[in-house]
Amino acid sequence: MILVKDIYSNFAVLFYSNKIMSIKVSNITKIYGEQKALDSVSFEIIPGEVVGLLGPNGAGKSTMMKIITCFIPPTSGDVSVYGYDILEQSIEVRKKVGYLPENNPLYLDMYVREYLEFIAGIHKLGDKTKQRIDKMIEITGLEVERKKKIGALSKGFRQRVGLAQALIHDPEVLILDEPTSGLDPNQIVDIRELIKNIGKEKTVMLSTHIMQEVEAICNRAIIINNGILVADDLTTNLSHLNLNKNILTVEFDKPFDKELIIKISGVKQIRQKENNTWQIETAGNIDIRQDIFKFAVDHSISVLTMHKEEVKLEKVFQELTKK
Ligand code: ADP
Ligand code: MG
């Protein structure tokens, strides 16, 4: 006997696998002149996912985003958004997609509201315009700054305006090209929080060259290097690879027994760089600076300098491409 429930779930599986992919990228290649920016890249994004497109500068992230948002055509391959083809049905695709381009180009002479009205006009929102603008101002926290000209806003608030324009037509998919680049640490935290909230209701794809950013916001990471997809996995799986680390470079005033430092909880490795200068490695989410100071005090050693370095994606690539 076949239960209605089974038919339904089979149908759902079929429907899901064949139809409702938020974004389906198949064998996308893009060649600019002689430069191959993307080389047969394929991936699929399910509705509701928050995906980080990760790669160093020049990897092809912006190119991929411009193709998905119908700004440039691919050299070969297919992309569809909710089943709509980017070349054949670009009007439908643009309705489904909100896009924050790299460097967030804005009209600095326009007032916040005026600019959002302008964007609402492009999307032909008609009598919904006021209601949508009010909602965007509320969601993106622009209330306090809404009467200013965009040119008078801080970079963090400009980025909120960028998010507001990307969301104004209530798209299902949000494509954000390096949304936190150039922001100060507090602004980064705010914008990440905002994106996380938006991600509860939308499919989000954001690009970044910072692994930690993906860990902070995304459930999945697609990593590209030189136009080639090198990894596509859940963020939790990638962090099991222990790709993230912090390296503390510490200069002490005198020698000591290195075994004492290895005993500090969280320390993975320690290397001598120069006489009394050491590199101490921990996992990316661990900060042992206070422990190092305490260690020094306990052993009557002075810390002369201390520098913390987060290991960035380039090194992640080394690890990934070694295999
Ligand atoms: P990312 O956003 O990851 O930094 P891009 O997609 O901007 O990378 O660029 C990928 C590669 O394609 C780079 O080598 C870049 O120089 C090249 N590229 C990008 N846009 C153009 C263009 N309009 N003309 C020629 N080369 C380009
Ligand atoms: Mg880019």
> 254 and 312 share a domain?
yes
CA atoms of 109 and 89, how far apart (whole Å):
34
Per-residue model confidence (pLDDT) at position 37: 97
CA distance linking residue 36 with residue 28, whole number of Å? 11
Range of the domain at 278: 245-320
pLDDT of residue 286: 84
Nearest-CA residue for atom 12 of ligand 1: 37
DSSP character string of 263-288? TSTTEEEEEE-SSSEEEEEEETT---
Chain-centroid distance of CA 111 in Å reads 28
Boundary residue ending a domain (239, 256, 278): 239
Is residue 103 in contact with ligand 1, taking CB distance under 6 Å? no
Residues in Cβ contact with 10 at an 8 Å cutoff, skipping those fewer than 6 apart = none
Q: Which residues pair with 225 in a beta bridge?
A: 228
Please choose from 28, 53, 62, 207 the residue to mutate so as to test ligand 1's pocket, defined by most ligand atoms within 8 A of CB: 62
224 and 305 in a single domain? The answer is no
Distance CA 174, CA 204 (A): 5
Domain match, 23 and 131 both:
yes
Domain endpoint, select from 206, 239, 272: 239
Q: Give yes or no for residue 63 CB within 6 A of ligand 1.
A: yes
Interval between CA 37 and ligand 1 midpoint (Å): 6
Residues 41 and 119 in one domain: yes
Q: Are residues 209 and 70 in the same domain?
A: yes
Same domain flag for 147 and 208: yes
pTM, two decimal places: 0.75
CA of residue 279 to ligand 1 center, whole Å: 35
Question: Which ligand places an atom closest to the C-alpha of 181?
Answer: 2
Is there an atom of ligand 1 within 6 Å of 41 CB?
A: no
User: Same domain for 208 and 291?
Assistant: no
pLDDT tens for the chain, 323 residues long, are 444 444 444 444 444 445 578 999 999 999 999 999 999 999 999 999 999 999 888 999 999 999 999 999 999 999 999 999 999 999 999 999 999 999 888 999 999 999 999 999 999 999 999 999 999 999 999 999 989 999 999 999 999 999 999 999 999 999 999 999 989 988 999 999 999 999 999 999 999 988 778 888 999 999 998 899 988 988 877 755 556 678 899 999 999 998 999 999 889 889 999 999 999 998 777 889 999 999 999 999 999 999 998 765 445 555 664 44
Q: Supply the CATH number for residue 305's domain.
A: 3.30.70.1560
**Residue 97: partners with Cβ closer than 8 Å, 6 or more residues away:** 68, 69, 70, 81, 171, 172, 173, 174, 175
Q: Is 54 exposed, middle or buried (0-12, 13-18, 19+ CB in 10 A)?
A: buried
Task: Look at residues 207, 239, 271 and tell me which one is the last residue of a structural domain.
Answer: 239
Number of domains in the chain: 2
Domain at 19, CATH number: 3.40.50.300
